[in-house]
């Protein structure tokens, strides 16, 4: 048995203006999970402590919370792996969500974004004269297995810094789940799906990898990269800034071995988009005043041919 103190965020939207914290001292085996410790605290000390849970085995996705500042499933986190040296574990609701009661948060924005991307199969119209099974090869299925493990726990969403500054961004879970249908050979709405993901600010993803901490190994960041790649392959919304930015970055690196920032700005905004260029002009002037203006023309680095060979072997698309 170990002496463990849970330092719990407390807030009830029905009665509280501001949150406070309660410390609950327990004597429990240190190998039990944080969820079991919370259950113990609720059963033995304070029945009003509120949190979501169901399966206790990392399947239902209900128990995601912040544990010592890191979001994860409480039922998959043994106390002894997170215990601080002073014997406490700080438990808070997931960030990027409004708390409702203690560790229970309002999930509506997360579900709204998820449902907007139509997370269900939309097969093309069936040929009634020749009805056949819609079969998926093992190789095609392999692409979907990993992402189908998503338990909608919202851990990745809570960890995403872009969601915290721009709530319009669909977030990693919704995009990863949309990928599951984009890549499903039985689906008939690929372009429409990609268009909707673009409209939900796919290209705002900053590729910070914070969402790679997924308890079910869905790797949502990698799925976002896959969706971006597919968007370019399918030529969806190619005149918008996101895909143009990606392609012009590829182009300058392939040409010179370096990121040509001046060309990236022009290529992203549009060389003849006078209004757009005027909008970024103040940034250019500020950079110039600090001596940070990137060179207009870049000379290719030595051995740039090796960089080009990599691009060609990976068939990386570039802006024409």
Binding-site ranges for ligand FES (CB under 6 A): 53-56, 58-63, 73, 75
Partner whose binding site includes residue 4, from ligand FES, ligand SF4, none (CB under 5 to 8 Å by kind): none
Which of left, alpha, beta for 261 (phi over 0: left; psi -120 to 50: alpha)?
alpha
At its nearest, how many Å lie between ligand SF4 and the CB of residue 171?
6
Terminal CA-CA length for the chain: 66
Angle (CA) 11-12-18 rounded to 5° is 50
Partner whose binding site includes residue 56, from ligand FES, ligand SF4, none (CB under 5 to 8 Å by kind): ligand FES
Q: Contacting ligand SF4 (CB under 6 A), which of 6, 104, 211, 269?
A: 211
Between 220 and 267, CB nearer to ligand FES: 220
In whole angstroms, what separates CA 270 from the centre of its chain?
28
Partner whose binding site includes residue 58, from ligand SF4, ligand FES, none (CB under 5 to 8 Å by kind): ligand FES
Whole-number Å distance between alpha carbons of 28 and 38: 11
Q: Contacting ligand SF4 (CB under 6 A), which of 101, 216, 230, 237?
A: 216
| 3 state SS for 229-291 | HHHHHCCCCCCCHHHHHHHHHHHHHHHHCCCCHHHHHHHHHCCCCHHHHHHHHHHHHHHHHCC
Between 76 and 101, CB nearer to ligand FES: 76
- Give me the phi and psi of 281, to 5 degrees please: -55, -45
Q: Contacting ligand SF4 (CB under 6 A), which of 214, 249, 264, 269?
A: 214
Whole-number Å distance between alpha carbons of 307 and 148: 36
Contacts of 165 (CB under 8 A, 6+ apart): none
Q: Contacting ligand SF4 (CB under 6 A), which of 8, 37, 38, 152?
A: 152
Contact flag: residue 301 with ligand SF4 (CB under 6 A)? no
Between 45 and 206, CB nearer to ligand SF4: 206
Whole-number Å distance between alpha carbons of 95 and 67: 11
Partner whose binding site includes residue 242, from ligand SF4, ligand FES, none (CB under 5 to 8 Å by kind): none
Between 105 and 160, CB nearer to ligand SF4: 160
Contact flag: residue 41 with ligand SF4 (CB under 6 A)? no
Contact flag: residue 176 with ligand SF4 (CB under 6 A)? yes
What Cα–Cα distance (Å) separates residue 13 from each residue in 9, 16, 45, 90? 13, 6, 22, 21
- Give me the phi and psi of 254, to 5 degrees please: -65, -40
**Count of residues near ligand SF4 by CB under 6 A:** 27
Between 6 and 158, CB nearer to ligand SF4: 158
Q: Contacting ligand SF4 (CB under 6 A), which of 26, 104, 162, 248?
A: 162
Contact flag: residue 208 with ligand SF4 (CB under 6 A)? yes
At its nearest, how many Å lie between ligand FES and the CB of residue 33?
9
Partner whose binding site includes residue 53, from ligand SF4, ligand FES, none (CB under 5 to 8 Å by kind): ligand FES
Contacts of 114 (CB under 8 A, 6+ apart): 152, 173, 174, 177
* Footprint of ligand SF4 (CB under 6 A): 150-156, 159-162, 172-173, 176, 205-211, 214, 216, 218, 220-221, 224
């Amino acid at each position: 048995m170990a002496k463990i103190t849970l330092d719990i965020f407390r807030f009830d939207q029905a009665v509280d203006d501001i949150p406070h914290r309660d410390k609950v001292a327990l004597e429990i085996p240190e190998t039990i999970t944080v969820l079991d410790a919370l259950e113990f605290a609720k059963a033995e000390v304070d029945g009003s402590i509120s949190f979501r849970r169901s399966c206790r085995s990392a399947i239902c996705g209900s128990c995601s919370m912040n544990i010592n500042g890191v979001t994860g499933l409480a039922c998959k986190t043994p106390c002894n792996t997170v215990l601080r040296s002073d014997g406490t574990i700080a438990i808070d609701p997931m960030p990027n969500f409004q708390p409702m009661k203690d560790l229970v948060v309002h999930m509506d924005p997360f579900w709204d974004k998820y449902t907007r991307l139509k997370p269900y199969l939309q097969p093309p119209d069936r040929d009634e004269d020749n009805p056949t099974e819609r079969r998926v090869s093992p190789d095609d299925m392999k692409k979907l297995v990993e992402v189908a493990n998503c338990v909608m726990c919202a851990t990745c969403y809570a960890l995403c810094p872009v969601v915290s500054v721009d709530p319009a961004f669909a977030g990693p879970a919704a995009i990863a789940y949309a990928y599951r249908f984009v890549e499903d050979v039985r689906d008939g709405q690929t372009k429409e799906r990609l268009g909707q993901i673009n409209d939900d600010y796919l290209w705002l993803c900053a590729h910070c990898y914070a969402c790679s901490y997924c308890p079910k190994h869905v790797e949502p960041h990698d799925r976002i990269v896959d969706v971006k790649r597919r968007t370019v392959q399918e030529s969806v919304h190619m005149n918008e800034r996101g895909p143009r930015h990606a392609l012009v970055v590829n182009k300058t690196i392939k040409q010179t071995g370096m990121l040509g920032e001046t060309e990236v700005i022009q290529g992203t905004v549009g060389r003849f988009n006078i209004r757009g260029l005027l909008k970024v002009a103040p940034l250019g002037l500020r950079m110039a005043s600090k001596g940070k203006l990137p060179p207009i023309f870049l000379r290719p680095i030595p051995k740039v041919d090796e960089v080009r060979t990599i691009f060609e072997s990976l068939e990386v698309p570039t802006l024409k």
